[in-house]
Chain A
C-alpha cells in the first residue's frame, strides 16, 4: 500500500511570514494525484490545493503553492503571507486507487 509521511507534527509561523510543510510519499504508480487538506477546529477537512502527477508545473492557489518533486516523491506546501485563519491541521494525501493520508501537521500562526 502507498504511504504518506509528514515528518513535522507541529509547525509555527509568524503572521505575514512564509512557512513550508513537508510531505513525502511512496508509490510505484506513475499516474496519481496529490492533495493538501486543511482541518480547522471546526473539523471539516477543506481542500487547499491539488497536483496532478503528470504535470511538471507546480500548482498554486492564491497564497498557497506546492513544490512537487516527482523523482524524489516529495510534495511540500508553502503558505505565503500567513494569516491567523491559516492555523489548522494540514494533511497531505495521495490518490491512486484510493486516498492515502499522512498523519498531519499542526500549524500555529503567531500574531
Chain B
C-alpha cells in the first residue's frame, strides 16, 4: 500500500456533473491537503485540514467542497465546474506537531481532471 492513495486517477466530467475525488492516507498523519497543479504554475493550496478541522481555504470557489470525515480520509466534491478547472488535483498529508514548521508533505499520484 502506498502512503497516500487517490482515486480516480483520471476523471472527465461535464460542467453540469457532480463528482467526488477521494484521498486516503495510511501514514498516521494528522493533516491533509488539496492542491491544484496547472501547467507552468506553482502548486496552488486549496484546502488544509488539521485534526479534521479546516484551517485554510485559499479563496477557492464554492463549486469545490471539501470533506474530511476522519484523519485518514479526504474528499473533494465537485459540481458545476468550469473548463478552467481542468488540472491535476493532488492530495497530500503531513504530521503537524506543536506548530513546528519542520513537517514534510507526502503526496498521492493525483487525479487528472478534464472538464468539458
B103, closest chain A residue (CB): A95
B34, CB-defined interface residue at 8 Å: no
- Number of A residues contacting the other chain (C-beta, 8 Å)? 26
B41, closest chain A residue (CB): A103
Question: Are B108 and A50 neighbours in the complex by a CB distance under 8 Å?
Answer: no
Inter-chain residue pair count (beta carbon < 8 A)? 50
Shortest distance between the CB of B60 and any CB in chain A (Å):
14
Residues of B within 8 A of A32 (CB): 101
**Stretch of A12-20, A37-45, A66-74 at the chain-chain interface:** A37-45
B102, CB-defined interface residue at 8 Å: yes
Question: Are B43 and A96 neighbours in the complex by a CB distance under 8 Å?
Answer: no
Shortest distance between the CB of B68 and any CB in chain A (Å):
17
**Bound: A9/B2 CA distance, A:** 29
Q: If the complex has contacts A44-B110, A45-B90, are A35 and B42 also in contact, measured as CB distance less than 8 A?
A: no
**Bound: A60/B102 CA distance, A:** 17
**Bound: A100/B106 CA distance, A:** 15
Question: Are A98 and B109 neighbours in the complex by a CB distance under 8 Å?
Answer: no
Q: Which residue of the partner chain, among A4, A31, A95, contacts B42 with CB atoms under 8 Å?
A: A4
Question: Are B42 and A96 neighbours in the complex by a CB distance under 8 Å?
Answer: no
Q: Mark B75-116, 1 if CB is under 8 A from A, else 0.
A: 000000000000010101000000001111111111010000
Question: Are B109 and A102 neighbours in the complex by a CB distance under 8 Å?
Answer: no
Question: Are B107 and A44 neighbours in the complex by a CB distance under 8 Å?
Answer: yes
A52, CB-defined interface residue at 8 Å: yes
Residues of A within 8 A of B48 (CB): 98
A75, CB-defined interface residue at 8 Å: no
Residues of A at the B interface (CB closer than 8 Å) are: 4, 9, 31-33, 35, 37, 42-47, 50, 52, 91, 93, 95-103
Q: Contacts A45-B90, A98-B45, A102-B42 known; list 10 others, CB within 8 Å.
A: A32-B101, A43-B109, A46-B107, A47-B106, A52-B102, A91-B43, A96-B101, A98-B48, A99-B43, A101-B42
